[in-house]
Amino acid sequence: MLKGKSAVVTGSTSGIGLGIARALAKEGCNLMLNGFGDAAEIEKLRAGLAAEFGVKVLYDGADMSKGEAIAAFMKKAADGLGGVDILVNNAGIQFVSPVDEFPEAKWEAIQNINLSSSFHCIKAALPGMKKKGWGRVVNIASAHGLIASPFKSAYVAAKHGQVGLTKSVALEVAEAGITVNAICPGYVRTPLVENQIEDQAKVHKMSHEQVIREVILAAQPTKKFVEVDEVAALAVFLCGDAAKSITGTSIAIDGGWTAR
């Protein structure tokens, strides 16, 4: 279905981004990976994906907070892969603080990486997609793109913005064979979340299991994490022909969180 397509996945050296990259590679997509990490480990990851799935896999560590770096990154992807058919905007960071104490530098970083990077990547990808008459943009937003939580003003603002960007661009390219959708996960079991659990356990003097149920998953009615593979499967579906009439949507995959 997607064999031979070329996909760019930002923030794809771990967590949700890596899960999506693996799922797309399994479908036969060539990849451009992006993210931070140990150079040797990233090369091992890149080579491993290429060997396992028999696809071309490139990597670039472009800083997603900088527009010029993103433009160069997208050009490298298009040149190296023969165009960009699929764009998954996944790069993101988080910081928690009362708004009146929120560091301005953190606010700017979150807006740049979580929202503006999506704009810059989409802007670079659309001309090639329009020329081909086919394209898929999947923005990895969050349940916080649909609802709010206290002390996460920058993240909530950026993710709401990403959902709005999704709708607007989808309308612009509706007749061009390009779909644009957002996935809004609840808490997903990733290495970053596992670290948060340990930190919360120390702060609250609670067990690992108590933190998961009473703090991390308090808002998710299922009281279960969303798994990376579930998000990846939804992303692959949105890229396929069966989803060609799905565009401008924000799909929650959150254990019922936003149903409240």
Catalytic residues: 155
The whole-angstrom separation of Cα 104 and Cα 5 is 40
Other Cβ atoms less than 10 A from the Cβ of 131: the count is 11
- Please, are residues 137 and 178 in contact by the beta-carbon 8 Å criterion? yes
Please give the C-alpha separations between residue 246 and each of 36, 136, 146, 176, 220, in angstroms, as whole numbers. 32, 11, 18, 14, 26
Contact 206, 200 (CB under 8 A): yes
Are 159 and 192 contacting, i.e. CB atoms less than 8 angstroms apart?
no
Cβ atoms of 6 and 30 closer than 8 Å: yes
What does the alpha-carbon distance between residue 41 and residue 3 come to, in Å, rounded to a whole number? 27
List, in order, residues 6 or more apart from 118 with CB less than 8 Å away. Answer: 89, 139, 162, 165
Alpha-carbon span 91 to 162, nearest angstrom: 12
